[in-house]
Amino acid sequence: MGGLLATVSLPDLATFLVAAVILVGGALGVVLGRNPVHAALSLVATLLAVAVLFVEEDAQFLAAVQIIVYTGAIVVLFLFVIMLLGVDRRERALVEQFRGQRLVALGLGALVLAEVLLLGTGHWTTGAHATTGALSRPLSNVAELGRAIFTTYLLPFEITSALLVVAVVAAVVLARRFDAPAQDERPPEGDPGDRPGDESEVAGR
Amino acid sequence: MLHFAYLIPLLPLAGFALLCVAGRRIGNPVAGWIATLAVAAAFAMSVVVLVSLFAHAPDGRLFTQHWFTWFRVDRLTVDVGLRIDPLSVTMALFVTGVSALIHLYSIGYMEHDEDFAKFFCYLNLFVFSMLMLVLSSNLLVTFFGWEGVGVCSYLLIAFWFRRPSAASAGKKAMIYNRIGDAGFLVALFLIFERTGSLDYQTVFARLGRISPTDLVAIALLLFLGAAGKSAQIPLFPWLADAMEGPTPVSALIHAATMVTAGVYLMCRINPILHAAPDAAHVVAWVGVVTALVAATIGCAQTDIKKVLAYSTVSQLGYMFLAAGTGAYVAAIFLMLAHAFYKALLFLSAGSVIHAMDGEQDLKKMGALRAFMPVTAVTFFVGWLSIAGVPPFSGFWAKSDVLENAWAVSPALWAIGAVTAVLTAYYMGREFFLVFMGDPRWQGARPGGDAPRDPGWVMGVPLVVLAACSFLGLFIDLPFHPTWTFLERWLQPVVGASAAVHHYGLAELWGFGLADVAFAALGIAMAAAVWRAAVNRPRLEPRFLFMAWFIDWSYDRFVARPGALVSSFASSVVEARVIDGAVEGTARLVRRGGERLRRVQTGYVRTYAAVIVGGIVILVAYLVTRAGS
Amino acid sequence: MTIDGSWYLALAAVVFTIGAVGVLVRRNVLVMFMCIELMLNAANLTFVTFSRQLNDIGGQVAVFFVLVVAAAEVVVGLGIIVAIYRRRVGATADDPHELRG
């Protein structure tokens, strides 16, 4: 590791380090943040750092998509839900219910880390080289990606399209408020939260 | 006409089947008549077969009638069929004849019983089994009949099963029989092992293949079976208890037929006994000792039927003595005579019991001669016959037995002689206590109705049997060779094994007079003591009354430890070990399940922790493996 | 010369671990969800790293699909969370424990 400075260019190293710090810091922020909104914003930071790292790794298209989709849509969705449900209050019980859950979690985490590090830093990659196509030569990264998706991985692509449709339908169905039964059947005073039909009275359509 | 022999056992079987199905509906008394007719028809068929046999020369009087092959396994083939020879026909004749008379008697005796049809159903089944026993051509089918009569004996002894003593008596009979049957079975195994067949013809032809020790073993084992069935030492206690059954049952099964199955077996296997003289000696000695012991016990009994029961054991002992000394003809003769007079005595006793509304205690009877003259006469005839008073058949038969005993060993003769005196004595005692003396029952009898002689349904058999007891003498008279009917008749069956002693006329007269003297002595003793007295404690000691404490000691030293073991087994082994193992397994599973249940905490996070743990393990595996 | 791939892998491992621990420790459903997103991102980073090491576009394709599926998953998941929260305000991940065996 000491001789690394000689083989790595400074800008790359600096970028990597900054992104790494933000990444880990953001991750810790997600896990440790008491307020869910804080956690969401830490997540944004994490995702941006990941996008930077993607660029570092010659995955430019993915970096862009990461920012647009992940940060721009998913996290926003999270924030919407947080706002909608009003969970910005602190988590009620800060005290862990299970004895030793935290200990177990940290222990397991340490083990996983150790193992994955072992796997990752040992030079054991045995995958075949370039079966699908080079990263960015001869075409640009986007073009290569597009070519791969629309030829070799066309079926998964189509299936994910279907998946997206399903997700949309599911979202609509899940978010739908049930129509109230006939007007005269309902008792005058309904208890909100008891029957889905009653919500319409409280929150309005 | 011989081929109609199959009807002999099948007619009672048909009677049984009919009564089994529709007996209750047919009811009292028609069910009884149906049963009686079935057996009487079988008797008629036996006569027909007898007559047909006469048409053949004496040496050619052996026929087998094959019915069907029961089973065939490896080397063993068992055919079911009949063996028609003089011995089996004789047995069939007297079994069906005496049974028919007793069936008739039962119609009157059981008339007030609510299970009337069931009784006759069982009786017919019994006759069928007994006939299969005596007529079969194969040892295994004999055993089938053997077991069958054992079962019927149980059913009939425990006929009034609601009475605990009756139920337990039936069980006792069954158990003692079974002990003997074990011997029978082992003998069957040995016979098959050595000769490869269970068919009488074949086995007798192949006796040469069996070593002498094996022959002795087979003979002794078969005798063990006979001892169980015919109540010899040491398996005799059940017969006294068997008196719990209705009196016709005692007469038929425990006097005339079932108990004689053992004697029949000994006669049937006479080639084996002849080839194993040591075993024959054992048979003779056991028989004569049993005769003596049982006679002594009979002197002290107070139940009218128990006296007769021990008397039966004693007379059976005589028959085994005869078989053991090679005097098969004498054994059969005594069996026939005994069937007549013992059945007669039992049925007379039954009349008395019936008239006395169930009273069986000798001490509570007396002076019945005046009230029941016919019964008194028949009982008297039976007494004289069993005592051995000429010209009744008992005298001739017992003489034959004793003569042959003398030829083998004077000691045997002496014991037999003492027994003869005792026989005359205790039967006399019974006669005097029941029919003579003072009417001790008069005070205790409710209502004022005096005991009376039975009606014709019960009376006719009594008279017929009395006549037979007298006329039976003509079966085999020693005076002239042409008059020895039974001996010549049975010659083809037992001739080869029979011991032949040639006594001069003077010796024969000597024996005869001696026998008369014994009878007279016994009668005189009975008259002297019992004509006037009722209780003579010194002559009725507890030791004899309790049957030499033999039964008591079985109970103490065999039954109680057995009961202890089984109660231990049931309360400890069964309850704790076996049930414990089974329930313990169930409990283990349940507790294990309860502990394992706690894995399902319901908390997503613990599940997630487990998943992560699984990942750790998997990756660890990969890490260790990927080093290669 | 660019950064060695193993550094990226180490980084991804760290983020993955933090995400995993977060799932186990937090009770707020939304935050748990975010931790799952963290883990997905760590995996994505790993994919891209390998893709670069092997010079194979396949890894980036995988990331592409992971992104799509993650999006769909978030949509449906949040829809469910909304539906649950309507019935039970303040539900946490611990509440289903009443279904325990």
pLDDT at B124: 93
pLDDT at A1: 41
Q: Is the pLDDT of residue C101 over 60?
A: no
Q: What's the token pair of residue C4? A: 């060695």
Query: Which amino acid is present at B227?
Result: A
Best interface-test mutation with C: which of B594, B599, B605 has the largest number of C CBs within 10 A?
B605
For chain A, give every domain's residue range. Answer: 9-112
Please report which confidence band the pLDDT of residue C18 belongs to, taking 50, 70 and 90 as the band edges: very high
A-chain CB neighbours of B624 within 8 Å are: none
pLDDT at B458: 81
Indicate the class that CATH gives domain A9-112: mainly alpha
Nearest CA among B187, B166, B323, B350 for reference residue B260: B323
| Residue C96 belongs to a domain | no
Q: Is the pLDDT of residue C56 over 70?
A: yes
Report the chain A residue with the minimal C-alpha distance to residue B611: A108
From C24, C53, C58, residue closest to A105, measured CB to CB: C24
pLDDT at B558: 84
B-chain CB neighbours of C94 within 8 Å are: 603-605
- Mark yes or no for CB contact C94/B603 under 8 Å: yes
A-chain CB neighbours of B626 within 8 Å are: 119, 122, 124
Query: Is the Cβ of C49 closer than 8 Å to some Cβ of chain A?
Result: yes
Nearest CA among B39, B128, B124, B138 for reference residue B82: B138
Query: Is the Cβ of A120 closer than 8 Å to some Cβ of chain C?
Result: yes
Peptide bond into B391 cis (omega under 30): yes
Query: Is the Cβ of C28 closer than 8 Å to some Cβ of chain A?
Result: yes
Report the chain B residue with the minimal C-alpha distance to residue C101: B600
Rounded-to-integer distance, Cα B360 and Cα B302, Å: 8
**How many inter-chain contacts (B to C, CB under 8 Å) are there?**
30
pLDDT at A135: 54
| Residue C44 belongs to a domain | yes
List chains touching A (3+ CB pairs under 8 A): B, C
Distance of CA B1 to the CA centre of its chain: 32
Rounded-to-integer distance, Cα B547 and Cα B544, Å: 5
B-chain CB neighbours of C20 within 8 Å are: 612
In SS3 terms, B493-514 reads as HHCCCCCCCCCCHHHHHHHHHH
- Mark yes or no for CB contact B623/A104 under 8 Å: no
Rounded-to-integer distance, Cα A143 and Cα B551, Å: 111
SS3 state at B337: helix
pLDDT at A124: 54
Q: In sequence order, what are the residues at sequence separation of 6 or more whose Cβ sits closer than 8 angstroms to the Cβ of residue A65? A: C64, C67
Q: How many CB atoms are located within 10 Å of the residue B65 CB? A: 16
* Contact call for residues A168 and A157 (beta carbons, < 8 A): no
* Contact call for residues A47 and A75 (beta carbons, < 8 A): yes
Average pLDDT over every residue of A119-142: 58
Peptide bond into A138 cis (omega under 30): yes
Segments forming the whole domain that contains residue C39: 5-89
Query: Is the four-CA dihedral B68, B72, B75, B76 of positive or negative sign?
Result: negative
Length of chain C: 101
B-chain CB neighbours of C27 within 8 Å are: 605
Q: Is the pLDDT of residue A203 over 50?
A: no
pLDDT at A2: 43
Rounded-to-integer distance, Cα B420 and Cα B295, Å: 9
Nearest CA among B88, B2, B82, B98 for reference residue B45: B2
Query: Which amino acid is present at B475?
Result: I
* Contact call for residues B350 and B251 (beta carbons, < 8 A): yes
By percentage, how much of chain C surpasses pLDDT 70?
88
Provide the CB-side half-sphere exposure for B620 (13 A, CA).
Answer: 10
List chains touching C (3+ CB pairs under 8 A): A, B
- Mark yes or no for CB contact B623/A124 under 8 Å: no
Length of chain A: 205
- Mark yes or no for CB contact B602/C97 under 8 Å: yes
Please report which confidence band the pLDDT of residue A191 belongs to, taking 50, 70 and 90 as the band edges: very low
Q: In sequence order, what are the residues at sequence separation of 6 or more whose Cβ sits closer than 8 angstroms to the Cβ of residue A200? A: A177, A179, A180
In SS3 terms, B197-266 reads as CCEHHHHHHCHHHCCHHHHHHHHHHHHHHHHHHCCCCCCCHHHHHHHHCCHHHHHHHHHHCHHHHHHHHH
* Contact call for residues B236 and B553 (beta carbons, < 8 A): no
Nearest CA among B333, B430, B315 for reference residue B380: B430
Nearest CA among B144, B186, B176, B130 for reference residue B9: B130
* Contact call for residues C46 and C9 (beta carbons, < 8 A): yes
By percentage, how much of chain A surpasses pLDDT 70?
65
Query: Is the Cβ of A103 closer than 8 Å to some Cβ of chain C?
Result: no
Average pLDDT, chain A: 75
| Residue C97 belongs to a domain | no
C-chain CB neighbours of A31 within 8 Å are: 18-19, 21-22, 25-26, 31, 35, 38
B-chain CB neighbours of A99 within 8 Å are: none
Q: How many DSSP H helices and E strands does chain B contain?
A: 27, 2
Q: How many CB atoms are located within 10 Å of the residue A173 CB? A: 11
pLDDT at B285: 92
Nearest CA among B98, B102, B106, B88 for reference residue B32: B106
Query: Is the Cβ of A14 closer than 8 Å to some Cβ of chain C?
Result: no
Q: In sequence order, what are the residues at sequence separation of 6 or more whose Cβ sits closer than 8 angstroms to the Cβ of residue B283? A: B219, B223, B266, B273, B320, B323, B324
Gyration radius of chain A's alpha carbons: 24
CA distance B600 to chain A (A): 14
pLDDT at B603: 77
Query: Which amino acid is present at B618?
Result: L
Rounded-to-integer distance, Cα C52 and Cα B254, Å: 108
Report the run of H or E that residue A106 belongs to, with start and end.
Answer: helix A101-121
Q: What's the token pair of residue A49? A: 């750092």
pLDDT at B589: 92
- Mark yes or no for CB contact B609/A108 under 8 Å: yes
- Mark yes or no for CB contact A119/B609 under 8 Å: no
Burial class (CB in 10 A: 0-12, 13-18, 19+), B560: exposed
pLDDT at B109: 86
Rounded-to-integer distance, Cα A80 and Cα C30, Å: 11
Q: What is the pLDDT of residues A134-175, one digit of tens each?
A: 555 556 788 888 888 898 899 999 999 999 999 999 988 887
Q: What's the token pair of residue B348? A: 């007379």
Q: In sequence order, what are the residues at sequence separation of 6 or more whose Cβ sits closer than 8 angstroms to the Cβ of residue B509? A: none
We report the CATH number of the domain holding residue C53 as 1.10.287.3510
* Contact call for residues B344 and B307 (beta carbons, < 8 A): no
Q: Is the pLDDT of residue C71 over 50?
A: yes
Rounded-to-integer distance, Cα B319 and Cα A91, Å: 107
Query: Which amino acid is present at B614?
Result: G
Query: Is the four-CA dihedral A10, A13, A18, A19 of positive or negative sign?
Result: positive
Peptide bond into B234 cis (omega under 30): yes
Q: What's the token pair of residue A77? A: 């969705």
pLDDT at A129: 46
DSSP codes of every residue in B272-321: HHHH-HHHHHHHHHHHHHHHHHHHHHHTT--BHHHHHHHHHHHHHHHHHH
**How many inter-chain contacts (A to C, CB under 8 Å) are there?**
265
Nearest CA among A146, A34, A71, A156 for reference residue C41: A71
| Residue C40 belongs to a domain | yes
Whether this prediction's pTM lies above 0.80 is answered by: no
Report the chain A residue with the minimal C-alpha distance to residue B608: A105
| Residue C99 belongs to a domain | no
Nearest CA among B398, B267, B249 for reference residue B338: B398
| Residue C94 belongs to a domain | no
pLDDT at A88: 53
Q: What is the pLDDT of residues A6-52, one digit of tens each?
A: 566 788 888 899 999 999 999 999 998 888 888 999 999 999 999 99
List chains touching B (3+ CB pairs under 8 A): A, C
Average pLDDT over every residue of A195-203: 43
Mean pLDDT per segment of 10 residues, for chain B of length 628 residues?
83 91 81 90 91 80 84 85 89 90 89 87 93 92 92 92 90 90 93 87 85 89 91 87 89 82 90 88 91 90 89 92 88 88 89 83 80 87 87 83 86 90 90 82 63 79 82 69 72 74 75 86 86 75 79 83 87 81 89 85 80 85 66
Rounded-to-integer distance, Cα B487 and Cα A179, Å: 114
* Contact call for residues A59 and C48 (beta carbons, < 8 A): yes
User: Virtual CA dihedral for A115, A118, A119, A123, nearest 10 degrees?
Assistant: 180
Query: Is the Cβ of B546 closer than 8 Å to some Cβ of chain A?
Result: no
Query: Which amino acid is present at B89?
Result: V
- Provide the b/e sequence for B530-559 (b: ≥16 CB within 10 Å): beeeeeeeeeeeeebeebeeebeebeeeee
Best interface-test mutation with C: which of A7, A74, A95, A144 has the largest number of C CBs within 10 A?
A74
Q: What is the pLDDT of residues A50-65, one digit of tens each?
A: 999 999 888 889 999 9
- More confidently predicted of C94 and A203: C94
pLDDT at A94: 55
pLDDT at A194: 45
Q: In sequence order, what are the residues at sequence separation of 6 or more whose Cβ sits closer than 8 angstroms to the Cβ of residue A192? A: A198, A199, A201, A202
User: Total structural domains in chain C?
Assistant: 1
Query: Which amino acid is present at B287?
Result: G
Partners of B64 in the β-ladder? B83
Rounded-to-integer distance, Cα B123 and Cα B120, Å: 5
